[in-house]
Chains A and B, each alone.
Chain A
Amino acid sequence: MRLLTINDLDVSYSGALTVSGFSLSLGQGEICSIVGESGSGKTTVIRAVLGLLPVGGKVTAGSITYDGKELPTLDKKQWHELRGHDISMIFQDSGAMMNPTRTVGATFVEYIRAHEKIPKKDAWSKAAEMLTKMRLPDAGRIMNEYPFRLSGGMRQRVGIAMGMTYQPKLLLADEPTSALDATTQAQIVREMGELRDEYGTSIIIVTHDLGVASYISDRIIVMRNGRIEESGDRDTILHRTENEYTKMLLDAVPTLGGERFV
């Protein structure tokens, strides 16, 4: 059975159709990238998967089936069991997801204790252990820091550490490296690839960076104006596409030693 199946999904914001006819099927341990330009609806899709559409957003047609469950029909309690446990999400800036007036440790412990009933002390050491696993040096110090005191790369690693605490089967990542510098981006993208190898996590990455998508994905979905323009395995999309829009996008990506304007 496929882990996640999206069939003919329509999403509307206040009546305006934003995403239409989106389909996707993701097996265990697969990494799929959704690429496209701004406003193509790629973030809306993964927000819909996690039931986190902004106010006014609604799934109006289609189905999202995760592990046999029909996601849009879940109630609050069922969502609570899934979110952050079976399905996790990483945002563009994990610092913005955390409360700026509380330390990383306090936020992390709260998160763990929302999912399992364990003493604070145990939750604390579990959190520190996760940070160490995500290659954050000096986890003890980071637990006592406020999010804004950490660099972008460290914050992103904290976000990934939180998301991976319960070894989710599905990880949704919304532009996880867009706010990072090149060398940090390389580190994080590589570490995300290793999550799949180590834990068998399936990952959906939303990105506008075709370079990142081409490096990490098994499959790539190209979106445009709320619709799937093309979808296929990585090599087909990158090297053998017939689609004019995909070709145009690939052509516009600057490459080392590629086209020069001067």
Chain B
Amino acid sequence: MSEAVLEAHNITRRFRIDGGKTLTACENVSLSLYRGRTLGLVGESGCGKSTFMKLVMGLDKPTGGEILFRGKDIAKMRGKEMHEMRQHIQMVFQDPSSSLNPKMKIRDIICEPLRNYGRIKHAEKKDAAADLLEMVELPSEFADRYPENMSIGQRQRAAIARAIALEPDIIIMDEATCSLDVSVQKSIIGLITRLQREKNISIGFICHNLPLVQSFAHEIAVMYLGNVVEVIPGADISEKSLHPYTKALLGAVFDINSDRERKIECIKGEPPSPLNIPAGCPFCDRCEHFTEKCRSEKPMLKNVSENHKVACHLYGGNLEK
């Protein structure tokens, strides 16, 4: 496997909320981003996937753990150091209509990071913008447009152009394709993977659409209630996944190729509130294979084979212990 660009170790983020309660958004999350590879982070709303990526971006500080980037802990960076680090980790947001300033022209939007870090002079903006637009397959005359005069797919391309402007090591994409129509979505994924190959970028992709994320992620981490429950190579998820929650997610996928008689598998109930996480396995209340041990002891993430980790008492030697 290629070198790790960023390593998060035992990241925990708790929020104190009214009434003295504590909300645990992430608990002991350890994940790495590798050069030129995509980590897909999947899970349902409130599972902590966006919180984790925010911590990676340095937009929020963890309660515990460390995030190592180039040997330094992002969580401890401040001021100038943080500013310097930011140029290496860029972000693409879900909704390009609100992440692009409607009063700025596309040229100014995509060149803003370059200007902020003094990489180009004002006079060089025109050429820089043309280059960036070419990379994201937009016509160069779009430089003079405002976001509102572009389709939503074109806007997302502009947002990607802004993210790659500084040639970052890492790009974090938070549901970057979920507001797009399927045909546009496909072309954006094609673009992202092409740029990744050309520039060897590491991508952290948050997504709730499992079929989509497995189509281009090298590695997928499944989160449930703030915990990573399974880490598996993207190509293997539909065949080799083991955790009951991952299987439940796969069972809930409506696939256009599946025959009608296939029954959609539903797990019962809804995730418990993150204010009130069960003491043992977070998934125990909804799990079919649940035993007494699941309630009392939390399963740790363990290797079941190379590159495949599961946090479940059923697998990976968790049982013998």
Tell me whether A16 is interfacial, beta carbon within 8 Å: no
CB <8 Å contact, B208 and A181: yes
How far is A181 from B245 in the complex, measured between Cα atoms in Å?
13
In the assembled complex, how far is the CB of residue A154 from the closest CB belonging to chain B, in whole angstroms?
Answer: 8
Tell me whether B209 is interfacial, beta carbon within 8 Å: yes
Tell me whether B124 is interfacial, beta carbon within 8 Å: no
Tell me whether A254 is interfacial, beta carbon within 8 Å: yes
CB <8 Å contact, B266 and A255: no
CB <8 Å contact, A253 and B256: yes
Tell me whether A238 is interfacial, beta carbon within 8 Å: yes
In the assembled complex, how far is the CB of residue B268 from the closest CB belonging to chain A, in whole angstroms?
Answer: 8
In the assembled complex, how far is the CB of residue A261 from the closest CB belonging to chain B, in whole angstroms?
Answer: 4
Q: A208-B181, A254-B212, A259-B215 are in contact. Are A182 and B253 (CB under 8 A)?
A: yes
CB neighbours (8 Å) of A260 from chain B are 214-216, 234-235
CB neighbours (8 Å) of B186 from chain A are 251-252, 254
In the assembled complex, how far is the CB of residue B281 from the closest CB belonging to chain A, in whole angstroms?
Answer: 17
Interface mask (A238-254 → B, CB under 8 Å = 1, otherwise 0): 10000000001111111
How far is A249 from B190 in the complex, measured between Cα atoms in Å?
16
CB neighbours (8 Å) of B249 from chain A are 182-183
CB <8 Å contact, B216 and A262: yes
* Interchain CB contact (< 8 A) of B210 among A182, A248, A250: A182
Interface size class of A (residues with CB under 8 A): 35 or more
CB <8 Å contact, A249 and B215: no
Interface mask (A202-240 → B, CB under 8 Å = 1, otherwise 0): 000000111110110000000000000000001000100
Stretch of A97-105, A120-128, A165-173, A186-194 at the chain-chain interface: A186-194
Q: Give the most central of B44, B209, B251, B266: most A CB within 10 Å.
A: B266
In the assembled complex, how far is the CB of residue B162 from the closest CB belonging to chain A, in whole angstroms?
Answer: 22
CB <8 Å contact, A190 and B264: yes
CB <8 Å contact, A186 and B265: yes
Tell me whether A184 is interfacial, beta carbon within 8 Å: yes
CB neighbours (8 Å) of A187 from chain B are 266
Tell me whether A54 is interfacial, beta carbon within 8 Å: no
CB <8 Å contact, A252 and B182: yes
How far is A190 from B260 in the complex, measured between Cα atoms in Å?
12
CB <8 Å contact, B211 and A254: yes
* Chain B interfacial residues counted at CB < 8 A: 45
Tell me whether B97 is interfacial, beta carbon within 8 Å: no
CB <8 Å contact, A189 and B254: yes
CB <8 Å contact, B45 and A261: no
Q: A181-B45, A187-B266, A252-B185 are in contact. Are A257 and B254 (CB under 8 A)?
A: no
Q: A151-B270, A262-B216 are in contact. Are A249 and B183 (CB under 8 A)?
A: yes
Tell me whether B120 is interfacial, beta carbon within 8 Å: no
In the assembled complex, how far is the CB of residue A149 from the closest CB belonging to chain B, in whole angstroms?
Answer: 11
CB <8 Å contact, A256 and B270: no
CB <8 Å contact, B264 and A255: no
Q: A183-B44, A183-B267, A261-B193 are in contact. Are A209 and B211 (CB under 8 A)?
A: no
CB neighbours (8 Å) of B152 from chain A are 38
CB <8 Å contact, B215 and A211: no
How far is A40 from B301 in the complex, measured between Cα atoms in Å?
46
Tell me whether B238 is interfacial, beta carbon within 8 Å: yes
In the assembled complex, how far is the CB of residue B276 from the closest CB belonging to chain A, in whole angstroms?
Answer: 14
In the assembled complex, how far is the CB of residue B214 from the closest CB belonging to chain A, in whole angstroms?
Answer: 7
* Interchain CB contact (< 8 A) of B211 among A153, A215, A251, A255: A255
CB neighbours (8 Å) of A249 from chain B are 182-183
Tell me whether B38 is interfacial, beta carbon within 8 Å: yes
CB <8 Å contact, A262 and B193: yes
CB neighbours (8 Å) of A252 from chain B are 182-183, 185-186
Interface mask (B224-267 → A, CB under 8 Å = 1, otherwise 0): 00000000001101110000000011111111111010001111
How far is A19 from B267 in the complex, measured between Cα atoms in Å?
39
Listed in ascending order, the chain B residues whose CB lies under 8 Å from chain A are 38, 44-45, 152, 181-183, 185-186, 189-190, 193, 196, 208-212, 214-218, 234-235, 237-239, 248-258, 260, 264-267, 270
Contacts A190-B264, A252-B185, A260-B234 given; 10 further ones with Cβ under 8 A? A37-B181, A181-B44, A190-B266, A214-B254, A234-B260, A253-B182, A254-B215, A255-B257, A260-B216, A262-B234
Listed in ascending order, the chain A residues whose CB lies under 8 Å from chain B are 37-38, 151-154, 181-187, 189-190, 208-212, 214-215, 234, 238, 248-262
Question: Can you offer 30 A-B residue contacts whose CB atoms are under 8 A?
Answer: A37-B183, A152-B45, A181-B45, A181-B208, A182-B208, A182-B252, A184-B270, A185-B254, A186-B251, A186-B254, A210-B182, A211-B256, A212-B254, A215-B258, A248-B183, A250-B256, A253-B182, A253-B211, A254-B182, A254-B212, A254-B215, A255-B211, A256-B214, A258-B215, A259-B215, A260-B234, A260-B235, A261-B215, A262-B217, A262-B218
